[in-house]
Amino acid sequence: MSQSPLYIDKGSTQTLREGLAEYYALNPHITDPASQPPDFAQILRAHDVGHVIYGCDTGMHDELKILPLFWWTSECTFQTYLEMKNSPAVDLMYADMIKDKGTLWLYSSILRVLPGVILELIPIWLKTRDRSKLLPFLEFEPLLDRLLLEIRQEFDLLPLMK
C-alpha 32/C-alpha 45 separation (Å) is: 8
Model pLDDT for residues 21-71, shown as the tens digit of each residue: 999 999 998 888 898 888 888 988 999 999 999 999 999 999 999 999 999
C-alpha 110/C-alpha 143 separation (Å) is: 32
Model pLDDT for residues 126-142, shown as the tens digit of each residue: 999 989 899 999 999 99
C-alpha 37/C-alpha 83 separation (Å) is: 17
Summary mean pLDDT of the chain: 90
Q: Tell me what pLDDT residue 80 has.
A: 85
Q: Between the CA of residue 9 and those of 121, 126, 148, what are the distances in Å?
A: 19, 23, 9
Model pLDDT for residues 75-96, shown as the tens digit of each residue: 998 888 888 777 766 666 677 6
User: Is the whole-model pTM more than 0.85?
Assistant: yes
User: Three-state DSSP class for 23?
Assistant: helix
C-alpha 34/C-alpha 23 separation (Å) is: 15
